[in-house]
Amino acid sequence: MAVLCKPAIEVPEYVITNEETLELAQRLHGDHPQIDLVLRLIEHTGVQKRHLIQPIEKVLQHPGLDARSVTYEQHTKARVPAVIRRALDQAELEPQQIDLIVYVSCTGFMMPPPTSWLIDEMGFRPETRQLPIAQLGCAAGGAAVNRAHDFCRAYPELNALIVACEFCSLCYQPTDVGVGSLLSNGLFGDGIAAAVVRGTGGTGVRLERNGSYVIPATEDWISYAVRSTGFHFQLDKRVPGTMEPLAPALNAVAEEHQWNAGKMDFYIIHAGGPRILDDLSLFLDVPPEAFRFSRATLTEYGNIASAVVLDALGRMFDEGSALDGHRGLMAGFGPGITAEISLGTWTTDSE
């Protein structure tokens, strides 16, 4: 069965702390009628620092969508290959052994997609299948795992590569001053992650079942307004409360597999914010410690969108606490409101 191997993660070199973010918000928006609320919300995100592909002074500038698109492509090509090489090494595979590349990103756009450039640049076979996903936002990390799983179920001897590349700082819009936008400015960070799903062999999470769920009538709760200035992120104040309707969806997928979502040995959950993790802990009736990997990602990197679930998974690998036979649940949440859910069992390659 398909095994999700150890992810490789990279965050860029420029750092902004939560204290610096609060000072910046006060300086830029001190006359905002709800500035006290904004500062309180940013302070309570749990984020200690975030990483950016450019110094904050450049992030705050808006040279236009065309210039930002150039920056997105330049940094993608400069940064992604090294992360992929580490993911391949950790899965003990070569580029020629990859049969599908699932590439997810919601913070920039390229056509042809980065997958075609990577196939040429890194020595993947010309026959390698491509699956770029651009519109699932933070849920795309979970979707990438699930689509790779589906592929390996259809072709049990083949292997898939997952890449998540998110430069959230390129979506900063200086004219967006709603509370949701200002909170987002203090929450999102930049990061790249990659992982291999092996059709046979490998150490990691043996993927067993996946599912998706969309909360009805919530399509405008997380969205982009696409304008001449680029992507304008829109966040409804109701989003933090979405775990109440989504927890039953996680339970349903687990029950289909004759598992109990509240009795897993490990959890890899998209850390959209502390309220998401707190509420899911409540509605699944699991201790807050169960989400320690996701909380660590949020604390150290902020919300790195689709890369969160892979980073949280990497932290579990590093902790070394998973044992053969341990059961786990992975979930990513994003626009729709969409949940992408995976179930799997930890396995150690005996070869």
Find the catalytic residue in 5, 138, 152, 168: 138
CB within 8 Å of 19: residues ≥ 6 apart: none
Q: For 306, which DSSP code?
A: G
CB 236 within 8 A of CB 227: no
Of 139, 142, 161, 151, the residue nearest 5 (C-alpha) = 161
Active site residue 138: yes
Torsion of CA 331, 334, 340, 342, to 10 degrees: -20
| Structural tokens at position 161 | 């590569």
Q: DSSP characters for 136-176? A: -GGGHHHHHHHHHHHHHHHSTT--EEEEEEEEGGGG--TT-
Q: For 14, which DSSP code?
A: E
Residue 308: what are its φ and ψ, rounded to 5°? -60, -50
Give residue for tokens 């980073």. 311
Q: Which amino acid is at 222?
A: I
As separate numbers, helices (DSSP H) first and strands (DSSP E) second, the chain gives: 11, 14
Q: How far apart are CA 144 and CA 142, in angstroms?
A: 5
Q: Which residues are catalytic?
A: 138
